[in-house]
A and B are shown apart, each in its own frame.
Chain A
Amino acid sequence: MSLWSRIWNSVHGEQLNREIDEELQAHIEEAIASGRDPKEVQRAFGSALHTRETSYRIRTAGWLESLLSDVSFGWRQLCRNKLASTAAVLSLALGIGSCVAAFRLIDALLWHPLPISGSSKLYVLSHKMPGFDGKPLEDSHWPTPEFKVMRDAVKDQADLIAISDADRTDITWSTDDDMEKAHVAYVSGNMFPLFGLEPALGRLLSPADDRGPGLNPYAVLSWDYWNHRFGRDPNVLGRSLHIGDQAFEIIGVGPRDFTGTEKGTVTDIFLPVSMNRLASMDSVSRHLTFLMLKPNINPATDLEPLRQHLSAVSRAFQLDCSTCFRGMTQTDIDRFLNQTLVFGPAGAGISELQKDYRRLLGILGLLVALVLLIACVNVANMMTAQAAARAQEMALRISIGAGRRRLVQLILAQSALLALLASVLGASFAAWSAPFVLSLINPPDNPARLALPADWRVLLFGFGLIVLVVLLLGLLPALRASAVRPVAALKGGEDPHSPRHLMRGAIALQVAFCFLVLFLSSLFVTSFQRLERRPLGFSTDRLLLLEAVASKGQLPVVWNQTAEALRAVPGVDSVAISGWPLLGRIRINSSISINGAPPSPIPAWFLNVSPGWTSTMKIPVVFGRDFLPQDTSPGAAIVNETFAKTFFPGQDPIGRTFELGANQPTYKIVGVTPDVPYHDLREPSSAVFYVPFDEIDDKSDPKTVDFATFVIHTSAQNPLVLASSLRQLIAQRHNGLRVSNITTQLDLLRDQTIRERLIAMLATFFAVVALLLAGIGLYAVLNYSVLQRRREIGIRMAIGSTRAGIVRIVTLDAFLVVALGGCTGVALGFGAARYVESLFYQVKATDADMLALPACAILVTTLVATLPAVLRALDTDPTEILRAG
């Protein structure tokens, strides 16, 4: 109350003075009216002005008044130097905005707790074990039977929740409708109640919906899906949803902000885990397993015993499992049993996106922090130069009695003004850039979707950032200014070199940061280029991929007839069928055994392909032949060169045979192809074998196929122009085949490099900004130093210094400082590069050209930035200087 009245009074100073005067005047009149001598009364008040001053000061907040005047003084200072102030505000805005945007992304993906109750007590169970290639594997998927055993074992301390990945699934809303895609997750019935979620409509799944396979065909929609697919139509309740040959009844809509536990993917439909078609196949049905501690359990003390208990239960289950190890080698069994069970905090959700982008976001955070620091150093240098120019004024202020605290406040007010202006601009930059960067993580199948709220977390971060910036900008110049010795400064004898030492140190720091940014971005850009230009071994040109499904399965002959029909369409050059596309989401491996020997420790990847697939993909068959229509699987196989080298070293592979495990049917190698990337562009070549699309069972009858991909080479440059007519053609044949997804081989290739492209793009952007800012900073400091040393330069010229000599004294310092900064940058760069090695592709931090590139860029910038200062120095007219002195 009293503080507010003081603040009010400070802002309304005029009115307050009038009121004080009026009250005192009333007093005097009263006194005179009661018969006192007017003169005596006046005298009793003492100096009227003094009384008023004293009264005024009591009733106002002095600090606020001085602050107001400092702010308006700071504003005038900024206005005096419009260009420099604008540059300062813009560079700070970019820095602050980038930092806030990066924070929004990092927080939304990695830290922001799920909108559920008890998110801090939620963990995910993973098993860690060595992979077949020796690298550690971590997996959070657990088979349903094991889940049940573990759930019952810890039911007094914690609840286990099963949630499947939110897979993009084919669904139909009535059997005749076109197929759509939706993200479907299977969840155990206890999920909604344990997460404390309330339905927006109808009811949610409950533990009663987990009774048994096929018993509870119910579906819950997420609010987001209900909103964009049904426009929040309440009549959606009771409608039925078809997945394959299953039908589900919609029973409710989830709460508004809950989009599942998979950060980056919005789950559209929740189904009971018991309704998973794979639920009857115990070894195949695997779900993420979450653990929610009961309220009375203390995570600090009870978590480790709980983990050990679960670990023992899991191990006992696996040892008991008779079917688990069928067909596995002893090494594989040992490897599998050698796993450890770990708990990971899952309060912020669990997703592949988090795993893939954690490092990238870390680097992004580092880049934006560095750019902000570089901008701060620039502005601090500007303010130091201004403060040095104002040394006389400061000295005068001190000598007429200004407190040093007041001087610090004066300069901090100016830096706060800059920071506030910049933060307003920065906020709008962050509001635009965070969703923009997120929209670049856009595989067509599954674009990243994240809520990016501007909530109190973001505001708090922004506020902290502003305080930090104010201190970074203002503290040094403020302390310097307040340390002014009035006598020395007023005499004009203040050491002119000391602010330059400070500014040079700042420049060295700036160059170091700039080098680090450039170094990292050159590593990322080179990685991206090498990945993009990596020889593929097949052509992505004009390849349309129609992913088709047959819900009840269709014989290969039906698939082959459909391919034949597609071939007849004008504009189609060739058509082949493969089980799934190269570089797509699916990859399947199998163990290989040669001549009945036990399976080798290294598995090989495989793919079913039709005759003509290799020529459609432009993959040459270097030895042997392509498949013929009469080839079947098992029977014939084509292998890649790595397969041949791994399993038949030094032998001619044509005609050799192998099996997929002991006592399995035999495959005879008919052809050899070069290595092509199978699943991941980054992986080194692995052993791959191709088998004929036509599969037969052990009675030599053809087996039905549920899904496959038509690979279509078109004569048109853009293969997608044929997509809809081909899709219709397949639908019109009414042979049970349906197109579920259309893409191109080129898009699949692009998907592989989204992360690398994103980091390369961001790194390039920040590298340019950093270089620009560092250049401006260097220019300003050199220019200032030449101005300060004009007398010295003039005298040197007068006593016969050569032009080369002048250039040397002006630039030597600068180059030393830049070299010092560069060396620091190299050290920082090596440190940072080690942390992100996993993002590099075929580049190493120690490659000479990775260092040369940033070094050259900085050298060129330095040359350009020093040029104006050098010209100014050479332009000095000694006679004028000496006369003025």
Chain B
Amino acid sequence: MAKTDALQGSLDLLVLKILSRRPRLHGYAIMTAIADTSGEVLRAEEGSLYPALYRMEEAGWIRAEWIKKDTGRRARVYELTAAGRKQLGAEESRWQSVSMAINRVLREA
């Protein structure tokens, strides 16, 4: 739980960013991508990743599709929608301003 708290509010941003670079990923791939690109610093918990995916899907930021994998199993892959791209921009600038603000506080103190 403690780990997910650190990600609170930024999970959406991470997922959207990952999907904007690499479309059509399934849930596990998104998780590993977050871990890989952050140098294993950030980890999305399965317990919160999927609810977040579903929430964003219902909000219309991402859309999902079932595909057949080579193994014969089905996988649900996600990609960004136009609305998701807009949302990503908004989240990014929000994140920038928040982190700048935090940095400023740290410097002052």
Contact = CB atoms under 8 A, between A and B. Distances in A.
B58 A29 contact: no
A24 B46 CA distance: 9
A23 B50 contact: yes
Interface in A45-72: 45-46, 50-51, 54-55, 58-59
B58 A6 contact: yes
A884 interface: no
A46 B74 CA distance: 23
B47 A51 contact: yes
A2 B60 contact: yes
A26 B74 contact: yes
A1 interface: yes
A46 B27 CA distance: 16
Interface of A: 1-2, 5-6, 19-20, 22-24, 26-27, 29-31, 34, 41, 44-46, 50-51, 54-55, 58-59
Given A23-B76, A59-B58, A30 B28 contact: yes
A31 B28 contact: yes
A58 B28 contact: no
A19 B75 CA distance: 10
B79 to A, nearest CB: 15
9 contacts: A1-B60, A24-B46, A26-B74, A27-B46, A44-B46, A45-B46, A46-B47, A51-B46, A58-B55
A44 to B, nearest CB: 5
B26 interface: yes
Interface in B29-80: 32, 45-47, 50-51, 54-55, 57-60, 73-76
Contacts of B28: 26-27, 30-31
Contact of B51 (A27, A31, A34, A54): A54
Contact of A55 (B45, B54, B59): B54
A1 B60 CA distance: 8
Nearest to B55: A58
Given A23-B27, A45-B46, A46-B47, A2 B59 contact: yes
Given A19-B76, A23-B76, A26-B28, 14 more contacts: A1-B60, A5-B58, A6-B58, A24-B46, A24-B50, A26-B74, A27-B27, A27-B28, A27-B46, A27-B50, A31-B28, A45-B46, A51-B47, A59-B54
B41 to A, nearest CB: 17
A6 B59 CA distance: 11
Contact of A58 (B51, B74, B76): B51
A22 B27 CA distance: 12
Contact of A26 (B32, B47, B59, B76): B76
A19 B46 CA distance: 16
Contacts of B58: 2, 5-6, 58-59
Contacts of A5: 58
A876 B74 CA distance: 71
Given A2-B58, A26-B73, A55 B51 contact: yes
B54 to A, nearest CB: 4
A26 B46 contact: no
Contact of B47 (A31, A34, A45): A45
A11 B3 CA distance: 36
B19 to A, nearest CB: 16
A22 B57 CA distance: 17
Contacts of B54: 55, 58-59
Contact of B50 (A29, A30, A34, A55): A55
Nearest to B54: A58
A29 B46 CA distance: 13
A54 B50 CA distance: 9
Interface residues of B, number: 19
A46 B51 CA distance: 13
A26 B60 CA distance: 23
Nearest to B1: A46
Nearest to A24: B50
Contacts of B59: 2
A20 B51 CA distance: 10
Contacts of B47: 44-46, 50-51
A34 B27 CA distance: 14
A55 B74 CA distance: 19
A487 B75 CA distance: 52
Contacts of B50: 20, 23-24, 27, 51, 55
Contact of B75 (A26, A31, A44): A26
A26 B64 CA distance: 15
Contacts of B45: 44
A44 B50 CA distance: 12
A829 B50 CA distance: 68
Nearest to B45: A44
A45 B27 CA distance: 13
Nearest to A58: B54
B57 to A, nearest CB: 8
A23 B46 CA distance: 12
A286 B76 CA distance: 82
A51 to B, nearest CB: 6
Contacts of A26: 26-28, 73-76
| From A5, A26, A45, A59, residue with most partner B Cβ within 10 Å | A26
Which 7 pairs show the lowest CB-CB distances between chains A and B?
A: A30-B28, A46-B47, A58-B54, A45-B46, A23-B76, A54-B51, A27-B28
B66 to A, nearest CB: 8
B30 to A, nearest CB: 10
A303 B93 CA distance: 60
A41 B28 CA distance: 11
Contacts of A19: 76
A103 to B, nearest CB: 42
A29 to B, nearest CB: 7
Contacts of A58: 51, 54-55, 58
A24 B32 CA distance: 15
Contacts of A23: 27, 50, 75-76
A824 to B, nearest CB: 54
Contacts of A59: 54, 57-58
A26 B72 CA distance: 11
A29 B54 CA distance: 20
Contacts of A22: 74
A552 to B, nearest CB: 84
A41 B32 CA distance: 13
B7 to A, nearest CB: 14
B83 to A, nearest CB: 10
A393 B47 CA distance: 37
A30 B27 CA distance: 10
A36 to B, nearest CB: 10
B65 to A, nearest CB: 12
A201 B52 CA distance: 66
A41 B46 CA distance: 9
Contacts of A31: 28
Nearest to B56: A58
Nearest to A45: B46
A44 B58 CA distance: 24
Nearest to A1: B60
Contacts of B76: 19, 23, 26
B11 to A, nearest CB: 14
| From A2, A27, A54, residue with most partner B Cβ within 10 Å | A27
A30 B76 CA distance: 12
B70 to A, nearest CB: 12
Contacts of A24: 46, 50
Contacts of B60: 1-2
A588 B75 CA distance: 94
A574 to B, nearest CB: 91
A375 B57 CA distance: 48
Contacts of B74: 22, 26
Contacts of B73: 26, 29
A26 B46 CA distance: 12
A122 B58 CA distance: 52
B78 to A, nearest CB: 11
